[in-house]
Structure 1
Amino acid sequence: MQDSRQYVPNPLRPYYVPPSIGTDALANATSSAPKSSSQGSGFTFPDIDYADYIPEASPSLTGSIKSYIDQAFWKYTTVVLGQPFEVAKLILQTRVAQEDEEDEEKPRNRHRYQYEDENKMNGYNGYEEHSSDDEPNYFTSAAPFEPPSSSRSPARGRRGRPPRDLASPRANDRHQDSSGRIHLKNPHSLLETLSALSSNGGALAMWRATNSTFVYNILNRTLETFFKGFLAAVFAVSENDILSSSAGGAVPDPSILTSTTPAATILISTAAAALSAWVLAPIDAARTRLILTPSTEGPRTLLGTLQALPTPYLIPAHLLPITFFTSTLPTLISTSTPVVLKSYLGLDPAMNPASWSVATFLGSALDLSIKFPLETVLRRAQIATWTSPAHSPPKPSSKRKAITTIVPVPQSYRGIIPTIWSITREEGFSETPKDKTAALMGKAPRRKRKGQGIEGLYRGWRVGFWGLIGVWGTSFVGGLQSGTEAATSEAGVHGGKF
């Protein structure tokens, strides 16, 4: 008897040919094919390998925990390696330049100058050796030698040098004073700042607020992702398009080009960055205080510092505008750069890899040029939360203790534009290269202009710039290696020009 399940041509479908695989008859005909577990279904696929299409089994609980620990360790290591430079940059940004930086060296050299003047008045020339009259004569008499007494000869140490208390200050004392503050001759030098920190508080002083920075980075990334997904659901935008575009990186991410609604993606990413910055503004302000205060200034924990805010655990009102602009403008530039390059300049990351790389580098440089002045104003507004009387707690009965900082910081915060004006036109002094060259050559007296100019807004810019160079160089080389053969040859021709 013929099997009823065997295929019989249908007269209504004379040209239909069933597939050669999948029928139970063919499966039974081949001895190597396994039997189907479901006898009721008429089709099986024994010859298809699903290993390439189905991902591996979900990891175990132990594997998941180990993966999270490895990621956390890697991120913490990244924070530890970059924290000294971030600390130095923040110190340079918040430090108020003095009217004349040279005046800081005069009190420390006053005793040495007085000692030299007294020696010259008494007939001595600096730190010269003992004269021949002061040397003992070992060949005239056997009497014990007595040093000649002279009222004009001051006490001297070994080799005729002045005593230690009158000598020039030691190398590790020239950067600090009795109040614990560090002194910097060059207000733009990162290395001098790191040296002053290590001389003042030891090597560990360069890693101030490392744990607070790690907590802030983790929460910032988490909250920004959450707000992106939330806003995407509210405005009916594809969540995959929003989450795939990562903003805030050193190099713009071209994944936004695959978005179906790039304008909405840019706006949602910018809004998510602003909301995340507002929520975490108290932690950022607490981190600034932990970096700028000495180790003897309490509290030294993140929770204790948050409780010391005028509005505990909440962002102070004066930080709202500057925090908004600091978080939104760089994010807006970073996310919109790929769209502008693709739509208006006709550049494509796959067809023009070298030109795309150079254009994104210029966009990132523009991002840094806007971010650094705003960040300088933000840091000064954050430390003014504890130093300005205008931001005191609303309760008049509460007593606030004035904090001690390791560098001179602003005692008040008047707003974004007034702070920028104060840095460029009121703080410290500046010299043009022409005036400096003329003064060194003796052709003209030294001319100093009040204010630091635009350069004062970009203290510590080397940290961000060299970080951008490193990330951009790595992505450029990686793009050359992973691109197609044509793109690789084109990028290689232009790569020598960089």
Structure 2
Amino acid sequence: MDYSDIISDNSPAATDILKRLAQQALWKYSSVFLAQPLEVSKTVLQVHVASSKPPRRKEKEDRYAPDERRKQAAYRQDSYDTEGAWGIYKGTNSTYVHSILLSTITSFVRSFFSAFFALPDPGLSFTSSSAAAGIAGIVLAPLDIARTKLILTPSTHPPRSIIATIKTLPTWTLPISLAPTAILHSTLPTFISASTPLFLRAKLGIDPFVTPNLYAIATFCSQAVELGIKLPVETVLRRGQMGIAQQGVPKGRALDTVVEVGPYRGLFGTMRSIVYEEGERGGQAAGDLSKGAKGAAGMKVGRPGSQKRKGQGVEGLYRGWRVGMWGLIGVWGAATLGGVGGKGGEF
């Protein structure tokens, strides 16, 4: 049958589709490239073990045999302690591939759930979105571990390709010890971001078309809440991922990292270690200021060192929050100027 009279053929040509895909891929990669310094900075802050004394290089060298120590010394002389401007762009390709696969797998699984279980949309979309994000996080766990390893190891530390780095991991599946943290990190932010539009429209009457400015502000606030909930879990996850990466190193050797990585003791165990055991917190020691200066500053005068307490406190779980907020503000501002109501993620 000829439907040309009632249906016009406005489908784009194959070249137009390819051109559009290439433009989207280039735009996505440019966004990841510009945001990667923030991601690298946040990851380094999250995994770095807090210590009252900086680690000594000699102590690290003593772990190796004499021949291995000579190799490490030569390596540091060649690479060395600074990586230059390119060091803040480590893991860009893996971050780009991870973001593309994450959105693709999440969309596919969410659509499958909606079709198979006949879920209404958008009434229960946050449920299927959270489940889809959890599945995508499980599937992409090896890639995420490899990405973290590429960020935290020196740029001259081989291997540097994605596939080769994944091959160095002890397992290509999500380890059981890391599963609760990884699943929580994948599902919680997605649950908040997916349920926010429904809550704003159904409960508060805030709509992106009727009240676009108010909707943009409310969305930004929800993303800030999402960041605050995600950061502690992400801090634990990054340490756990480096613990898994360390297991792939030959026995008797240590994984060379740009900073000393804190230990992973499970979700709540790691949080407790950061809050109560790792490093010290508090103002300057009482011996660092004179009594008159402390009195003027409103500080309690006491014995030297009485202002210090063991552990980082709750603040230790939110390392890198400034970097995360700057990334959130940048993405939200760009999305708002683009007329999409501030929709977007942290980076």
**Given the two structures, how large is their TM-score scaled by the length of structure 2?**
0.79
Q: 1:336 aligns with which of 175, 188, 195?
A: 195
Output one character per residue of 1:80-115: Cα deviation in whole Å (capped at 9) or x when no partner: 1111111111111111011346x97xxxxxxxxxxx
Change (3 A) 1:212 1:234: same
The 8 Å contact of residues 94 and 376 in structure 1, kept in 2 or not, is answered as: yes
In 1, Cα distance between equivalents of 2:340 and 2:160: 47
In 1, Cα distance between equivalents of 2:291 and 2:102: 49
Partner of 1:66 in structure 2? 19
Q: 1:403 aligns with which of 250, 255, 268?
A: 255
1:448 aligns to 2:340 (yes or no): no
The 8 Å contact of residues 198 and 206 in structure 1, kept in 2 or not, is answered as: no
Partner of 1:149 in structure 2? none
The 8 Å contact of residues 38 and 324 in structure 2, kept in 1 or not, is answered as: no
Partner of 1:206 in structure 2? 88
Letter of the structure 2 residue corresponding to residue 59 of structure 1: A
Output one character per residue of 1:336-367: Cα deviation in whole Å (capped at 9) or x when no partner: 11222233334334444443333222211111
In 2, Cα distance between equivalents of 1:354 and 1:69: 32
Partner of 1:76 in structure 2? 29
Partner of 2:102 in structure 1? 220
In 2, Cα distance between equivalents of 1:279 and 1:423: 29
Structure with the greater relative contact order (CA < 8 A, sep ≥ 6): 1 or 2? 2
Output one character per residue of 1:103-148: Cα deviation in whole Å (capped at 9) or x when no partner: 97xxxxxxxxxxxxxxxxxxxxxxxxxxxxxxxxxxxxxxxxxxxx
Partner of 1:307 in structure 2? 167
Letter of the structure 2 residue corresponding to residue 338 of structure 1: P
The 8 Å contact of residues 274 and 316 in structure 2, kept in 1 or not, is answered as: yes
For residues 234-253 of structure 1, what are the structure 2 equivalents within 5 Å? 234-237=116-119, 241=121
In 2, Cα distance between equivalents of 1:414 and 1:325: 16
Change (3 A) 1:379 1:180: farther
Partner of 2:61 in structure 1? none
In 2, Cα distance between equivalents of 1:300 and 1:355: 45
Letter of the structure 1 residue corresponding to residue 48 of structure 2: R
For residues 350-365 of structure 1, what are the structure 2 equivalents within 5 Å? 350-365=209-224
Output one character per residue of 1:231-268: Cα deviation in whole Å (capped at 9) or x when no partner: 11220236xx4xxxxxxxxxxxxxxxxx3xx1x21110
Output one character per residue of 1:361-413: Cα deviation in whole Å (capped at 9) or x when no partner: 221111111011111111000001133xxx579xxxx8574211110012x42
Change (3 A) 1:267 1:337: same
Partner of 1:56 in structure 2? 10
| Structure showing the higher helix proportion among its residues | 2
The 8 Å contact of residues 102 and 137 in structure 2, kept in 1 or not, is answered as: yes
1:85 aligns to 2:77 (yes or no): no
In 1, Cα distance between equivalents of 2:42 and 2:87: 14
In 1, Cα distance between equivalents of 2:227 and 2:290: 33
In 2, Cα distance between equivalents of 1:267 and 1:236: 13
**Identity percentage of aligned residues:** 43
SS of 1:200's equivalent in the other structure is: coil
Q: 2:150 aligns with which of 287, 290, 309?
A: 290
Structure 2 gap ranges (5+): 57-72, 296-300, 342-347
Partner of 2:204 in structure 1? 345
Output one character per residue of 1:43-74: Cα deviation in whole Å (capped at 9) or x when no partner: x98xxxx8xx84624313x3333322222122
The 8 Å contact of residues 180 and 406 in structure 1, kept in 2 or not, is answered as: no
Partner of 1:232 in structure 2? 114
Change (3 A) 1:438 1:457: farther
Change (3 A) 1:362 1:306: same
Partner of 1:466 in structure 2? 326
In 1, Cα distance between equivalents of 2:292 and 2:318: 26
Residue 434 of structure 1 and its aligned partner are, at CA, apart by 11
Change (3 A) 1:296 1:351: closer
Q: 1:327 aligns with which of 181, 186, 207?
A: 186
Out of 439-448 and 419-428, give the one that drifted further: 439-448
The 8 Å contact of residues 94 and 409 in structure 1, kept in 2 or not, is answered as: yes
In 1, Cα distance between equivalents of 2:9 and 2:284: 64
Partner of 2:273 in structure 1? 422
In 2, Cα distance between equivalents of 1:320 and 1:329: 14
1:386 aligns to 2:245 (yes or no): yes
Residue 438 of structure 1 and its aligned partner are, at CA, apart by 8.0
For residues 6-155 of structure 1, what are the structure 2 equivalents within 5 Å? 54=8, 56-60=10-14, 62-100=15-53
In 1, Cα distance between equivalents of 2:292 and 2:205: 51
In 2, Cα distance between equivalents of 1:438 and 1:375: 40
SS of 1:378's equivalent in the other structure is: helix
The 8 Å contact of residues 95 and 147 in structure 2, kept in 1 or not, is answered as: yes
**Given the two structures, how large is their TM-score scaled by the length of structure 1?**
0.56
Partner of 1:126 in structure 2? none
Letter of the structure 2 residue corresponding to residue 58 of structure 1: P
1:272 aligns to 2:132 (yes or no): yes
In 2, Cα distance between equivalents of 1:59 and 1:440: 78
Structure 1 gap ranges (5+): 1-37, 39-43, 105-176, 182-196, 242-258, 482-498
Change (3 A) 1:439 1:371: farther
Q: Aligned residue pairs: how many?
A: 315
In 2, Cα distance between equivalents of 1:237 and 1:357: 27
> Alpha carbon RMSD of aligned pairs, Å?
3.5
Change (3 A) 1:206 1:333: same
Change (3 A) 1:408 1:352: same
Change (3 A) 1:55 1:326: farther
Change (3 A) 1:426 1:336: same
Change (3 A) 1:477 1:221: closer
